[in-house]
A and B are shown apart, each in its own frame.
Chain A
Amino acid sequence: MSDPTLEVTDLRMHFPLSGRLGRAGAVVHAVDGVSFTVAPGEVLGLVGESGSGKSTVGNCIMRLLEPTAGTIRLKGKDITHLSRSQLRPLRREMHMVFQDPYSSLNPRMTNGAAVGEPLRLHGIAQGKDLERRVAELFDQVGLNPDLRHRYPHELSGGQRQRIGLARSLSVRPSLLIADEPVSALDVSVQAAILNLLTDLQHDLGFACLFITHDLSIVEYFCDRVIVMYLGRIVETGTREQIFASPQHPYTQALLSAAMTPDPDVQRGRQRITLEGDLPSPIDLPAGCAFRTRCPLAHESLPKSEEEVPELRDVDGDGHLVACHLARHGRRVPRLGERVAPSTDRVAGR
């Protein structure tokens, strides 16, 4: 098998707090030992809620942040500690699109200049050739090439996101990191961007790390899924494995809380409500970080307070779960049957 496009091993990103915040020596554990690979042409979804560390992972890979520990390999080459100048030729290989197309484009650059910039900086095209390639790129992402001479503020949100995609894909990267690329868009526009991404990915064959909080998009778009909670991976598997038989109690709760646009389905199923707030990433609970909210926490005591659960393959099919209740041949119990819905809880007060 050829090298994976991206290989992340035991990635850690810790942010020390400054003394002025009153907590000298305290550390935010944003990412705490994350490992995964993305195969060529594969779409890997990275899901989690606020504070899960999913965006930090993306920013570390792009080296927008200096990771505290771990290694990042791009097509087999260790890029973790490369200097800016060493990294520059590799910037062709990976590109990022951001959530907010309003703030990620330079307002003083024409759209054409923005799309052509990577080609120009990497010395791939210039002059007439650059003009022609930029016009082609506009066409490829479904934009009228006349918009090249306009500025970002003259475009709609969907059009700006197309500019972002054209810019990212201009240099034919092997890896696209997309951080919530459609979250700021209306549904009908979001659909168009997802269709476009599907087409481009099919035609250009890039690998994609798709970072999002939206489970319906993950289920629609991704081949494989990683679920993160408080800086760690709690579960990973193929789309079918995660959506058809979620194991980790957090994944189960997350899936049960996702809204389905069908009143019969939506009202017919049991929702697993998590108690309490997300713990602070400064004082991570010892052992399993999810135990403070886990409906099954009592079943794995005292182990859950002592040991961080490792990712284990339960069925021998590559579906990994980090839960003390999961071991080889034994799955985590389904939650729906034993946890009362929260309406009863509130009404019973």
Chain B
Amino acid sequence: MALLELNDVSVRFQTDDGPVQAVDRVSWSLDSGEVLAVVGESGCGKSVSAMSVVRLLPPSAKVSGEARFDGRDLLGARDSELRAVRGREISFIFQEPMTSLNPALTVGRQIGEVLRRHLGMSGAQARDRTLELLDLVGIPAPQRRVGEYPHQLSGGMRQRVMIAMALACDPKVLIADEPTTALDVTIQAGILDLLRDVRERLGTAIVLITHDLGVVADIADRVVVMYAGRKVEEAPVHELFAHPQHPYTVGLLAALPQASNGSGRRRLQEIPGIVPSLPEPPRACTFAPRCPRADDRSRSEEPPLGEVRPDHLVACFHPGEEPWPEGWRS
């Protein structure tokens, strides 16, 4: 049975410029110990869909659909029930650790607070457990680090503190929103190794929200590709990279710079046009205006998700891994 499950979750925002459909009937499920990557470009709804699960959205957001954790309904849950899950059974790490840590509290105080509040530990217990956690996430000399403030730590160390805090209550699910985007390459590699280690040793399932297909290739088991609020493709990681089916995924992979061997640079795939901001979900493929394969049907009918290859879902009337026609422009 799935540990965390989204069924047809939609999120609408009321903005000064009118309503925006940020997420449109997205479903995915996360099994125990699994790493699920939700990938897409800015504004595709990847973060909003994950944050909606635990209702960490501004009041202007209207969420519908169903989110279940361990069989329990989250969207309809009372605040008190939700608080018992949020931060305890489902915890979070964010892109910029400096803005999510309290600059006025020592590392020890911040982690200790989680332990005392959620698990009712005494001061001494919390201190011991904090040291254990810092050691677990690979922070050298934890005895010294507990007394330090966030500004005294490097970016990589701060992210490790965030992870230690997220793991404090031994959560079943960790939602990691661009956890390595603000970090240098060599530091990023260490954090990904740590997340892998956490999954293997503690069995924590991870939802990884990212725009970086390299990070996806490194750590994900399964991948959900989002575009303009909808899930357009889902497959196990090896399958997705070897046989991408949705023209958006195909284009995105070809857009990545790769080594040019000798004879000049290979042209990168451009995806002309921009991601639409949608007041209403259209009865059509949202990618059609930018798609080389779009036809009248794509423009008048919404492509349903279908299984085009084993365990590989695509929402497209013309799936296939062929590259885009050369020099195509919308």
Contact = CB atoms under 8 A, between A and B. Distances in A.
B265 A259 contact: no
Contact of A274 (B138, B186, B268): B186
Contacts of B201: 347
A75 B193 CA distance: 47
B258 interface: yes
B216 to A, nearest CB: 8
B257 A347 contact: no
Contacts of B188: 257, 259
B255 A261 contact: no
A219 B265 CA distance: 10
A110 interface: no
Contacts of B200: 347
A188 B270 contact: yes
B302 interface: no
Interface stretch (B63-71, B80-88, B206-214): B206-214
Q: Which of A186, A190, A194, A260 has the most CB of B within 10 A?
A: A186
Contacts of A267: 217-218
Contacts of B253: 261
Interface in A292-349: 341-343, 346-347, 349
Given A195-B268, A271-B193, A187 B258 contact: no
B186 A259 contact: no
Interface residues of B, number: 51
Interface in A168-196: 186-188, 190-192, 194-195
Interface string B222-264: 0000000000000001100100000000011101111110000
A254 interface: yes
Interface stretch (A19-27, A57-65, A123-131, A210-218): A210-218
A194 B257 contact: yes
Contact of A219 (B42, B154, B259): B259
Nearest to B329: A142
A198 interface: yes
A49 interface: yes
A277 interface: yes
A266 B217 contact: yes
A17 interface: no
Contacts of B194: 346
B214 A187 contact: no
B260 A263 contact: no
A191 B271 contact: yes
A192 B254 CA distance: 12
B241 A262 contact: yes
B255 A198 contact: no
A38 B72 CA distance: 63
Contacts of A341: 193
A259 B217 contact: yes
B152 to A, nearest CB: 11
A18 interface: no
B interface majority secondary structure = helix
B135 interface: yes
B274 interface: yes
A187 B41 contact: yes
A contact residues, range: 35 or more
A264 interface: yes
Interface string A248-260: 0000011011111
B196 A343 contact: yes
A83 B109 CA distance: 53
A163 to B, nearest CB: 16
B51 interface: no
A266 B267 contact: no
A192 B154 CA distance: 34
B193 A343 contact: yes
Contact of B265 (A221, A277, A346): A221
Interface string A140-157: 000000000000000010
Nearest to A192: B270
Nearest to A267: B218
Q: Which of A220, A271, A346 has the most CB of B within 10 A?
A: A346
Nearest to B138: A346
A278 interface: yes
A213 to B, nearest CB: 7
Interface in B86-112: none
Interface in B152-199: 154-157, 184-190, 193-194, 196-197
Given A187-B41, A253-B186, A263-B237, A220 B211 contact: no
B186 A49 contact: yes
A196 to B, nearest CB: 9
A347 B197 contact: yes
Given A220-B265, A277-B157, A278-B154, A260 B217 contact: yes
Contact of A257 (B186, B216, B255): B186
B68 to A, nearest CB: 29
B251 A188 contact: yes
B215 interface: yes
B255 A259 contact: no
Contacts of B186: 49, 253-254, 257, 273-274
Given A216-B214, A216-B256, A265-B217, 17 more contacts: A49-B184, A50-B184, A187-B41, A188-B271, A191-B255, A191-B256, A195-B270, A213-B184, A219-B259, A221-B265, A243-B259, A259-B214, A259-B218, A260-B214, A263-B237, A271-B189, A274-B186
7 contacts: A49-B185, A49-B187, A220-B258, A259-B215, A263-B238, A277-B156, A346-B194
Closest 9 CB pairs of A and B: A259-B214, A220-B257, A188-B271, A191-B268, A191-B255, A257-B189, A49-B184, A186-B41, A192-B270
Interface of B: 41-42, 135-136, 138, 140, 154-157, 184-190, 193-194, 196-197, 200-201, 211-218, 237-238, 241, 251-253, 255-260, 265, 267-272, 274
